[in-house]
Amino acid sequence: MNVNNTIDNQPKYINPYLGGVLLGLLILLTVYITGRGLGASGAVKSAVVTTSNTIAPSATKANNYMSQFVSDDRSPMYTWLVFETLGVLVGGLLSGLLFGRVKKFRTDHGPNITSRKRLIWAVIGGALFGLGSQFGRGCTSGAALSGTATFALGGVIVMFSIFGTGYIIAYFFRKLWI
């Protein structure tokens, strides 16, 4: 069988070990300055609480989960992680511009599924990740990476459950990616 091994349009990425060292130093700096690590899912939670609090303030205050994040003097958007996440969008855009990866809207998908299917799975996957991150007290950034870096037991548990599950179930969903 004649197999074509070309890697199409391989974009210029920085060396992954360099990326890792920079990311590790950034976590160190963040802990040194703020006493906490990085995060991501928290900003989406703030967005959910803000929408809910705008549409139905009394129901939001009656909800035992969302009420923790509502205060009378400030919008729930006024949190560290919301500002950090705005930064992530800006930083991602800057890198994309610098390395020539900012193009018109497009969808990455495996060779055996259509873009449309990929987008449906992306919503489902995102919803599961969002739901799981609330039980996990954080996602890959906040719990698995920053948590483990500060030697927190919870961080290690979340890291192994995410990646362990990924490896166990990858085979069954291989049509999505390979």
Partner 1 sequence: MGPLIPNGIIGGGWDFVIALLIGIAFGFILEASGFSSSRNLAGVFYGYNFLVLRVFFTALIVAMVGIMYFDYLGWLDLSKIFILPTYLGPMIVGGVIMGFGFILGGYCPGTSFTGLAIGKLDALFFTIGLYLGILVFSLAFPLFEDFYSSGSLGNITLTELTGIPASYFALAFTVVALAAFWGTMLIEKRVRKNMKQYKF
Q: Any contact of residue 159 with partner 1 (CB under 8 A)?
A: yes
Determine the Cα–Cα distance for residues 34 and 84; give it in Å rounded to an integer: 12
169 forms part of the interface with partner 1 (CB under 8 A) = yes
Assess 56 for contact with partner 1 (CB under 8 A): no
> Site for partner 1 (CB under 8 A): which residue of 54, 77, 165, 175?
165
Footprint on residues 78-97 left by partner 1 (CB under 8 A)? 80-81, 83-96
- Specify burial of residue 88 (Cβ count, 10 A radius: 0-12, 13-18, 19+): middle
CB of 164 to partner 1, least distance (A): 7
Query: How far apart are the C-alpha atoms of 160 and 151, rounded to whole Å?
Result: 14
Which of residues 22, 54, 57, 175 is near partner 1 by CB under 8 A?
22
Is the sign of the CA dihedral 121, 123, 124, 125 positive or negative?
positive
Q: Is 76 in the site for partner 1 (CB under 8 A)?
A: no
Interface with partner 1, residue 70, by CB under 8 A:
no
How many chain residues interact with partner 1 (CB under 8 A)? 133
CA distances to 12, 25, 116, 150 from 16, in Å: 11, 14, 31, 22
